């Protein structure tokens, strides 16, 4: 039986769980807006754009340089992507920004000695070596991201529902886009140290997508997405602990959490199919 | 697009008729302040929410997780900004929903409503901001006959209360049922006149020249009828000095 309680008596496991639970709050709010506004690809672009920031920050100041570097890169690219995609109105721009930033990061990191180890860390995070300071920064960034989304919530929903209607109502879309992308950027930075840039999307997108399947309106979706993200984090961490301690299989904790979230999504798909069957019968 | 001169009076409906690519959407966007223009005279209501838009149907995400009431509440955002709805907002939403006869369905998910109900719901959203001018973009597209009738009845009621309407449509018949005046457009202004006079067979043929648009022929005024009404004067020719 997988132990769901005792592993978290260890400080490094507790810190990992707390970090993920903090991220779960953003998964429920920022994630739902990403889902409604279909910003998944934009978010993917931001995760890649953050990467060279991590690398340059690390080269400039070692580990303490990671977060400031990522934050600068994320905010620059959030504004850049908002303005560019507004101009051209298509997703090619995102793909081009995404790949160019990512390549830049790889080129810079490949000039360093022993880069493959550092590369792995930046791509996949170090969930079990999150420090107290990092956990605090994560919490601050998540709070800022949630605040940004909360303040623009009704307008974001309006714009997601009906772009021309919201523009007609005088909603300034440029600022709204920068707010949404800025919130995603801060979330990406907050999560990058813990789960790595590549797995950020798992926490941001998968719980909200699951919640969308299970709920009919937005407010319950926020709650359900948060709960799913928290549950997946807890189960995933426990599973990873169980695998490595009991079965001696060294499973990367970040990726195990991501897979657990995907498994919960699969359950949500099944549940939503059953729900719609029941509704049809009634 | 140049040389367009028209006005919409309070309580009046003006039809905006032209083929695809005639500049109807461009004109609506300009009225909404979303496009730069070089009009010599340009007066629109500028207060918060004073222009309401009923967008084309395909611009709305139909499986979006919101109730009808939540959709209509969006119409109050110009008044409220980031704040949550007040009692005023809620009663405004209720009035708008009752206006279109959908108060009973307010808890229904928007995507589960019929096409006609959605259209009336979006109309209620535009009404919720207490507009002076309503822009209806192809409001009758894809609606069945009863839904059309309901929409027409609502427009008539609102006109009686002083709301002005600008309605883009392909449907000549509907234009004649609900509008007093018609702006015929095809890159430039073809005519702006009382609907009966603007929609003559020859003018409509000119506007829709080379465009595959179904026109219900027998509902059109004939050229003779037009001449009778105007005692033979030539209205709305491109060389007409009245249409700059």
Q: For B117-176, what is each residue's pLDDT tens digit?
A: 888 888 898 888 888 888 888 888 878 888 888 888 888 888 888 888 888 887 778 888
With beta carbons under 8 A apart, name residues in chain A contacting B125: 165
pLDDT in 10s for each residue of chain A, 282 residues:
778 777 887 888 888 899 899 999 999 999 999 999 888 888 888 888 888 888 888 778 777 777 788 888 888 888 887 777 766 656 777 778 778 888 888 888 777 766 666 677 777 777 887 778 878 888 999 999 999 999 988 889 988 888 878 887 778 788 888 899 889 988 988 887 777 777 888 889 999 999 999 988 899 999 999 999 999 999 998 998 888 887 877 778 888 888 999 999 999 999 989 988 887 776
With beta carbons under 8 A apart, name residues in chain B contacting A164: 53, 55-56, 59
Q: What is the distance between the alpha carbons of residues A235 and A241, in angstroms, rounded to a whole number?
A: 10
Cβ–Cβ gap B125/A165 under 8 Å: yes
**Residue with the larger pLDDT of the pair B131 and B33:** B131
Q: What is the distance between the alpha carbons of residues B107 and B73, in angstroms, rounded to a whole number?
A: 12
Q: Is A13 in contact with A241 (CB distance < 8 Å)?
A: yes
Looking at residue A264, what is its pLDDT? Answer: 95
Q: Is B101 in contact with B119 (CB distance < 8 Å)?
A: no
DSSP code per residue over B188-218: EEEEEEEHHHH-BHHHHHHHTTT------GG
Helical segments of chain A, H only:
11-37, 40-61, 66-88, 92-110, 115-124, 132-151, 153-161, 163-168, 173-195, 200-214, 218-245, 253-281
CB atoms under 10 Å from CB of A45, counted, come to 28
Q: What is the distance between the alpha carbons of residues A176 and A172, in angstroms, rounded to a whole number?
A: 6
The full set of domains in chain B, from first to last, is 1-35+133-244 (3.40.50.300), 61-131 (no CATH)
With beta carbons under 8 A apart, name residues in chain B contacting A165: 53, 55, 59-60, 74, 122, 125
ipTM (interface pTM): 0.79
| Residues above pLDDT 70, as percent of chain B | 77
Q: How many residues does chain B have?
A: 244
Q: What is the distance between the alpha carbons of residues A169 and A153, in angstroms, rounded to a whole number?
A: 15
Question: Crossing angle of helices A253-281/A173-195, nearest 10°?
Answer: 130
- Closest residue in B to A222 (Cα) is B65
Q: What is the distance between the alpha carbons of residues B191 and B235, in angstroms, rounded to a whole number?
A: 7
Q: Which of A160, A164, A218 sits opposite B59 (nearest CB)?
A: A164
Looking at residue A223, what is its pLDDT? Answer: 95
Looking at residue B182, what is its pLDDT? Answer: 81
Burial class for B55, CB neighbours closer than 10 Å (0-12, 13-18, 19+): buried
Q: Which of B49, B66, B122 sits opposite A217 (nearest CB)?
A: B66
Q: Which of A151, A161, A217 sits opposite B60 (nearest CB)?
A: A161
Mean model confidence pLDDT for chain B: 75
- Closest residue in B to A170 (Cα) is B78
Looking at residue A233, what is its pLDDT? Answer: 92
| Residue B1 pLDDT exceeds 80 | no
Q: Which of B51, B61, B65 sits opposite A168 (nearest CB)?
A: B51
Residues 6+ apart with CB under 8 A from B210: none
Looking at residue A118, what is its pLDDT? Answer: 67
| Residue B223 pLDDT exceeds 50 | no
**Residue with the larger pLDDT of the pair A272 and B184:** A272
Q: For B85-118, what is each residue's pLDDT tens digit?
A: 777 788 888 888 988 888 888 888 888 888 888 8
The full set of domains in chain A, from first to last, is 6-281 (1.10.3470.10)
Looking at residue A222, what is its pLDDT? Answer: 94
Cβ–Cβ gap A161/B51 under 8 Å: no
Cβ–Cβ gap A216/B125 under 8 Å: no
**A153 has which bridge partners?**
none
**B16 has which bridge partners?**
B168, B183
**Residue with the larger pLDDT of the pair B229 and B190:** B190
| Residue B237 pLDDT exceeds 70 | no
Give the strand order in the sheet containing B13-17. B51-54, B133-137, B164-169, B13-17, B181-186, B188-194
Band (pLDDT 50/70/90 cuts) for residue B238 is very low
**Helix (H), strand (E) at residue B145:** helix B145-160
pLDDT average, residue stretch B8-17:
81
- Cα radius of gyration (chain A): 19
Cβ–Cβ gap A218/B65 under 8 Å: yes
Half-sphere exposure of B190 (CA within 13 A, CB side): 26
Q: Is B211 in contact with B20 (CB distance < 8 Å)?
A: yes
Contacting A with CB below 8 Å, chain B residues are 32-34, 48-49, 51-53, 55-56, 59-61, 64-67, 70-71, 74-75, 77-78, 80, 82, 84, 109, 122, 125, 129, 135
Contacting B with CB below 8 Å, chain A residues are 36, 151-155, 157-158, 160-171, 212, 215-218, 221
Q: Which of B34, B55, B82 sits opposite A165 (nearest CB)?
A: B55
Q: What is the distance between the alpha carbons of residues B201 and B45, in angstroms, rounded to a whole number?
A: 34
| Residue B183 pLDDT exceeds 90 | no
**A162 has which bridge partners?**
B60
Cβ–Cβ gap A212/B65 under 8 Å: yes
Output the CA torsion sign for B73, A170, B126, A85: negative
Q: What is the distance between the alpha carbons of residues B28 and B16, in angstroms, rounded to a whole number?
A: 10
Q: For A216-229, what is each residue's pLDDT tens digit?
A: 889 999 999 999 99
**Residue with the larger pLDDT of the pair B240 and B93:** B93
Q: Which of A127, A134, A123, A258 shows the shortest CA–CA distance to A190?
A: A134
pLDDT average, residue stretch B173-196:
78
């Amino acid at each position: 039986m997988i132990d769901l309680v005792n592993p978290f008596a260890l400080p490094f496991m507790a810190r990992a769980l707390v970090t993920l639970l903090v991220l779960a709050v953003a998964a429920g709010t920022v994630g739902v807006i990403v889902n409604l506004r279909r910003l998944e690809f934009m978010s993917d672009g931001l995760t890649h754009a953050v990467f060279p920031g991590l690398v340059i920050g690390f080269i400039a100041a070692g580990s303490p340089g990671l977060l400031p570097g990522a934050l600068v890169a994320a905010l620059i690219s959030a504004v850049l992507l908002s303005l560019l995609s507004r101009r051209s109105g298509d997703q090619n721009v995102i793909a081009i920004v995404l790949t160019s930033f990512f390549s830049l990061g790889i080129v810079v990191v490949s000039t360093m000695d022993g880069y493959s180890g550092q590369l792995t860390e930046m791509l996949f995070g170090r969930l079990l070596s999150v420090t107290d300071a990092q956990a605090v920064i994560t919490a601050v960034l998540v709070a800022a991201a949630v605040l940004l989304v909360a303040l623009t919530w009704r307008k974001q929903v309006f714009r997601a529902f009906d772009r021309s209607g919201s523009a007609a109502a005088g909603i300034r879309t440029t600022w709204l886009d920068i707010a949404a992308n800025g919130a995603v950027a801060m979330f990406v930075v907050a999560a990058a140290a813990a789960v790595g840039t590549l797995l950020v999307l798992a926490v941001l997108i998968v719980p909200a997508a699951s919640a969308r399947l299970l709920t009919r309106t937005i407010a319950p979706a926020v709650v359900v997405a948060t709960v799913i993200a928290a549950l997946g984090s807890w189960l995933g961490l426990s599973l990873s602990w169980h695998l490595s301690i009991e079965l001696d299989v060294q499973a990367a904790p970040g990726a195990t959490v991501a897979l657990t979230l995907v498994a919960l999504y699969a359950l949500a798909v099944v549940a939503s199919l059953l729900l719609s069957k029941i509704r049809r019968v009634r | 697009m140049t040389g367009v001169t028209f006005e919409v009076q309070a309580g009046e409906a003006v039809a905006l008729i032209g083929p695809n690519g005639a500049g109807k959407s461009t004109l609506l966007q300009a009225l909404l302040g979303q496009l730069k223009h070089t009009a010599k005279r340009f007066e629109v209501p500028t207060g918060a929410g004073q222009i309401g838009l009923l967008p084309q149907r395909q611009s709305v995400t139909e499986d979006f997780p919101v109730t009808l009431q939540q959709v209509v509440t969006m119409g109050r955002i110009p008044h409220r900004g980031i704040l949550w709805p007040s009692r005023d907002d809620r009663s405004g939403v209720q009035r708008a929903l009752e206006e279109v006869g959908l108060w009973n369905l307010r808890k229904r998910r928007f995507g589960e409503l019929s096409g006609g109900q959605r259209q009336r719901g979006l109309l209620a959203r535009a009404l919720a901001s207490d507009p002076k001018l309503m822009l209806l973009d192809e409001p009758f597209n894809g609606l069945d006959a009863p839904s059309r009738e309901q929409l027409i009845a609502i427009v008539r009621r609102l006109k009686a209360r002083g709301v002005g309407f600008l309605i883009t449509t392909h449907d000549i018949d509907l234009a004649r049922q609900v509008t007093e005046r018609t702006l015929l457009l095809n890159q430039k202004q073809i005519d702006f006149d009382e609907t009966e006079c603007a929609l003559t067979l020859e003018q409509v043929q000119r506007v829709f020249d080379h465009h595959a648009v179904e026109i219900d022929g027998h509902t059109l005024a004939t050229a003779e009828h037009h001449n009778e009404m105007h005692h033979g004067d030539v209205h709305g020719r491109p060389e007409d000095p009245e249409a700059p």
